[in-house]
Structure 1
């Protein structure tokens, strides 16, 4: 099982996930959306496509752009469609 936690809260937890470039991508249904807030940040990866970000917010504390996803990944990254990954201090264990 993989689990993502930050500031004492479980943000995501799942027995199924994808690992790409060392990052764990959780299925969207495994992510607790109560802790996510849309961010205006976007980045581009040459082989995955354009990533969108979420701020992770727990008990009023904000971790800006700590989660990302690819809403329309390129074919080479189709396995992470509808998945969310974390960084910036979010602890991910598998």
Structure 2
């Protein structure tokens, strides 16, 4: 079972993790309700496609753009569709 924690809050928990380039991608439904806040930020990866971001809100604090996902990943990264990954101080524990 993998868990993602930030600011003393469980952000996500699942035993269905896909690891790509060292990042654990959790199913979106494994994310704790209410911690994600939509962001306008995007970035581009040549083989995965365009990533969109969410900020995290937990215990009264915000972690801007700490979660990313690929709404329409390229064929080479199709296994991460519907999944999210974390950074910016989010600890993923197995």
Q: Which residue is 1:37 aligned to?
A: 37
Q: Which residue is 2:50 aligned to?
A: 50
Matches for 1:1-94 after TM superposition, within 5 Å: 1-94=1-94
Deviation at 1:59, TM superposition (A): 1.8
Query: What is the aligned length?
Result: 94
Deviation at 1:60, TM superposition (A): 1.7
The CA RMSD measured in Å over matched residues stands at 0.6
Q: TM-score, normalised by structure 2?
A: 0.97
CA contact (8 A) 2:9 2:59 kept: no
Q: Distance in 1 between matches of 2:67 and 2:42?
A: 11
Q: Distance in 1 between matches of 2:56 and 2:3?
A: 15
Deviation at 1:15, TM superposition (A): 0.6
SS at match of 2:84: strand
Unaligned runs of 5+ in 2: none
